[in-house]
Structure 1
Amino acid sequence: MTSLSDFLLTQAMRHFSAADWSAASVQALPIESGVSGVKVRRYELTHPDGPCARVVVKPCGLKERLTLARLDGGEGVPGAYVPDLHSDEEADVVMEDAGETLLGWTLADREAAARALSAVHAHFMGRRAELAWLPDLDAAYLEGFIVERCWRGTWQRARGNPDFVREFGGWISVVEASVQTLAADLLAFVAQTDVQTLAHTDVYYGHIFRQGERAVVIDWGQARYAPLFLDIGDTFDTAEGAQVYRTALAARGVRLSDSVFETGHRLARRFAGVRYVWWWLESWQRDPQDWNREGLERMLGMAAGQPG
């Protein structure tokens, strides 16, 4: 191994295993970019003694690199080798490969996801001073990114589609009313509760992978110091699903009152519905089918603030 990229992989494997991988062979493997389109690379390393390991290399901004370095070695996330913790420019991070098995929909899947997320949430709850690089949840993020960027454009285009108005017109006013107060309601909840932690804020099924009995959460580029509920609205959208997460959180010593949990979960559903309804709107308008109609109905109900 002689190239600069090979040297980076060598150092990463030493970080992950404390073994010498300098004589390992390296093979590039295919990998798809996610929704964000960030160019990631996957490699398989074969040690002369036989062991194989797969890693993913991703260019990350400084905030994500600091977050991954802080999460490295913890439960529920892939290990990460972060050689640059100072440059404002993007720099490569080497991560243990999460694999290609996305989280499923069974109770066991949800329990694995609950263990992964609760591990991060419980560990960092109330530890703001250790996470100085993370932005807080604020109106600029909620109104500028979640509402304007994630929701409004696709929503306005859908409103101009007669098929959408005919099929889903009953949702329009209630969703828009919910969106109007989402930022204020979330910020009021932050002011009245003490459930802030290292929150991923972009947790959906495409960001959670199964590794046997374990789940790992990837793509921490949008992490914030925010209520833990921002991470459970999609994966744990139902009341029953939310209890799976609540049980896992309690097992780690974090017990929330019924009123806080119920209010937080309803806000979580609204947040996730507003954030992710764009995908279902586009999918249904492009090629209406039963599955995406059902998914769109689910997201509209969440965005509108209906209980799970």
Structure 2
Amino acid sequence: MPAILGTLRRLVLTPKLRAVTFADRGFPAAGTPAAEHLEAIPQSVVCGFEWGIEHRGLWDVERRLATVSPELRGFAYEGAAMAYAVRDAMAGGKGTRTKELLEGPGLPHIFLTYIGIGFAMARLPRVLWRGIMPDLEGVPFFPTMSWLAVDGYGFDRAYFHTRQVVDEQRPFRPYPWTGRPDYFPRAADQGVGRALWFIQGARPAQVAAAVEAFPAARRADLWSGVGLAATFAGGCSAEGLAEVVRLAGGHADEVALGAVFAGTARMAAGHLPEHSKLGVEVFTGGSVEDAVILAATVAVEHDDAGPGESPAYELWRERIRAHFRGSVTKAA
């Protein structure tokens, strides 16, 4: 049985399942079939958080996460990573739960567990962010891909503070993540783009209108987030995905970039839903296997970024974009 302290943590810190529904959030697509599909994702995150925040041992949490369907399991791991990051912060930054999760059973879901750390960041004061990302030397894509934590932070802020982040388009304050405060708002905007797919219920015209309402300088990062969410989370037909490419116009390469990351993450987790396969095919014009090979071939090591250059993460993204520049729009 979980300790009393764990039960208290769960009762105090775990969001209610109803609080993440589209109706409770006031999202315009509430009640649609796509909303029902998409709502299962944040609810899976909440379940993972609840298990991670309450139970004492990783084994107990892992066994519970294994009961979640393969399509949603990575999202439950997001929630567990969020919980462990919060618990480590509550331990004065000396906790090792997050590291043990990400290097252990969470490794196949490393893309999503990074995002879960970002969810924790959205609930912690910035003074506690300094040690929130554990040293994961030897883990693939670390530390380059740790920018997904900032992406997760941006998603969380947009999902739960929609008026300020989406309607009022308040910019994110810089933070020296991996020593690059200048890139922090861009990475957060990539998460906002993912959130727009949820907020607008996977409806291409409404998603595009929401992106285009932002200043032009922010739209590229938003579109890459749309591509990632549409591919990983689903909720749209092949015709709708083709409409996304058309509406993205000159940013179709950003949508393809997001699809490449989503396909790579799905393959790493060992489960490829049909909607993710479809998203990669429509957005990139190729197969998921092609996307995985591309991501691995053009990957940028952290040390490759020289002084004054973009972070390795953005250099990696640019190499993927360059592969699609012009070609996806013509194919659509």
Shorter-normalised TM range:
0.3 to 0.5
TM-score by length of 2: 0.30
Larger Rg: 1
> Of the two structures, which has the highest relative contact order with CA contacts closer than 8 Å and spacing of 6 or more?
1
Q: Which has the higher strand share?
A: 1
Q: Which has the higher helix share?
A: 2
TM-score by length of 1: 0.32
